[in-house]
Amino acid sequence: MISKKVILTGSFGVGKTSLFRRFIENKFDEKYLTTIGVKVDKKVVEVGDRKLTLIIWDIAGEVKQDKVPTAYFMGTHGLVYVLDLTRPDTYKNIAEDIEYLQKISPKSTIKVVGNKCDLLESEEALEKVLAEIPVPCNFTTSAKTGENVETLFAELSAAMLA
């Protein structure tokens, strides 16, 4: 069986751990718990007729090199950059963050994910927010409702195997 390492990264409080739990355990918790260091878990997914083990790292905090050890990114195949669609401060540095991630993990597939879409009141509000994000957002998700979480990891898995 093939294994691929995936890292969830982005600012504090964007829902990385909630996406992690929704995908791995199909659970959501309203309580905010700060991740300290890193949590690692795995899940087997099917891509076509192939089985793939995703080893998913939920890392604490920021992308910046002074906050997260670059060693965490060694051997990474996929990066999920999570931002909070309701908090513009979580994507104001996204272009430089993505550039940094491409530099330290040049072979990784990167997906930009706008989380907490359930908190926006309309499709128009979502479109307005997406227009403000300086890089293309590959997915909008809700860890709370589960919207697009499976699709995110399915498409990331397929891209890593391509």
Question: How does pLDDT run along the chain (162 residues), one tens digit per residue?
Answer: 899 999 999 998 999 999 999 999 999 988 766 776 789 999 999 999 999 999 999 988 666 655 567 888 899 999 999 999 999 999 999 999 999 999 999 999 999 999 999 999 999 999 999 999 999 999 999 999 999 999 999 999 999 999
Give me the CATH code for the 2-161 domain, please.
3.40.50.300
* pTM exceeds 0.85 for this model: yes
Domain segments of the chain as ranges: 2-161
Q: Give the C-alpha distances (Å, rounded to integers) separating 81 from 12, 46, 48, 66.
A: 12, 23, 25, 17
